[in-house]
Chain A
């Protein structure tokens, strides 16, 4: 594997007051983080408003919607927002899209018919709008001679999502692929596959940003476990058997999820699931795990969860990322 630099990033949800999110992003930049990702879910804070505020308070950290979707905004509106953000933070914006999920659609009562098709079309339309082309498109959504003549430049695109279709789309069309919630041991092969598919398509392979679900304190592990409540139910039956998860457990998980959400069901998530889908343990174990992950998959960026929205946590991540060999981002990490 090449000794390419791996930068580190933080993955935010807009669940804290905006002034505090800005403060945390500033500190992250000061400590060498290469990027902030921001989820676009539920009724959390608007990603472009938060990013505009972070842009004003920072100089170089990349701003990545992690991820937005083709539905809560019309793709033309998303393109305009991304281009506006690029004007406010030149060279620092990535257009991150996914199909969207229950956290987005549940609260808004959206039930898209063809989410993957919409994602593929959105990628194409947004890319063309950001290149200041006029776009007329009829598919999962419509545009009619839409144009952003002022769009400053093409913005790198990023895709996140589960499954081979999305990964192939990333290989063939995107500049970045965002990986999260994957079995850690499978990621190197998955990344190799994406790089191979890209080569076969005659293009530069997408850069890889990977969130391996690192957690190295009791509190952090406690916030990680609930994230896997849904995944444990949605797991392949074959895998479920391998993890020793019975049908009774699945039923109980469903009941608890309905009644009290992921936290209520978390205690039923086997340790084995955590151990395979995340890098958890004491700090040394996690540093080693991250180091190995870096070596095997050679991602351009490793992303870390905000287990706590505190300056201490940001410093802790910076420390651990550095110990695991991540580079300090002295300059913007995006290349065009």
Chain B
């Protein structure tokens, strides 16, 4: 049975996000993931508070990046939450998008090499052994298994994940690119696939989200933009316009033909039906909803819980 998940960014207060995690556990959702981006709350502290408020739900960060913290520290942070939660933490790491790195003026220099080094150091810290860039001090936390997944869009990253990670977190990836992406992620080892899809409850929210989906296209590798027939010049112009406050060009680029690639909209049943196609076509280990709560993370999680309940019952009835 596929695991269920929700993914959100801690834009609400720490306490409200903790309430949302609690709501996710109450709704029987298997995993909750928090994003790690400059302007939002620090997800590790929020997940620590959430760990104390829950008992079973898996707690994940998706994704942190190798630039804002030394990877050895990231490992220590992950291990601490893992200890606090009784082994429920998963560390998602990736190159970081514009929202994460822009505010710290960090250019994404050598993103694959930096992510590769980070994963190597994180594994070494978790195992308490030396590696280039980490020398175990006389005391450190006891060795402990740590689950590490990679969240990235491109071929090289997903092939790297296949070598070195426990899974991939495929978040907001256009649907038609998923077969290739999963192929890369399975190119070396059959690691776990997690697919996380943008979801909104209705038309109003869909229109609100539409221009923001342009960032998915900006962060995507060129092959994806070609597949979706997005003109790079028009895309760049739309980004400039959006930054200057005009979302018209972005709305035209994220037209109705592209929308189904990027988002599921509608009632819990409609969303469940959409998710079911992802489960049937790609057989992931986990399927999740990227939520855009707009001020009510608990409400958004509860609606997601409803959709995931329908999905689970659809899957169950299919197998009976």
Contact = CB atoms under 8 A, between A and B. Distances in A.
Given A49-B80, A109-B133, 10 more contacts: A44-B76, A45-B80, A45-B83, A49-B45, A53-B84, A56-B53, A72-B69, A81-B42, A110-B70, A142-B104
A107 interface: yes
A77 B41 contact: no
B275 to A, nearest CB: 31
A43 B136 contact: yes
Interface in B233-258: none
Contact of B68 (A17, A53, A74): A74
A192 interface: no
Interface stretch (A26-34, A145-153, A169-177): A145-153
A74 B70 CA distance: 9
A76 B103 contact: yes
B84 A144 contact: no
Interface in B115-159: 125, 133-141
Interface stretch (A83-91, A217-225, A315-323): A83-91
A47 B139 CA distance: 16
A147 B14 CA distance: 17
B52 A80 contact: no
Contacts of B105: 138, 142-144, 146
A106 interface: yes
* Interface size of B as a range: 35 or more
Interface residues of A, number: 50
A146 B37 CA distance: 11
B113 interface: no
B51 to A, nearest CB: 8
Interface in B21-77: 38-42, 44-46, 48-49, 51-53, 67-70, 72-73, 75-77
A235 interface: no
Interface in A28-74: 41-46, 48-53, 55-57, 71-74
B281 to A, nearest CB: 38
A144 B103 contact: yes
B308 to A, nearest CB: 27
Interface string A106-117: 111110000000
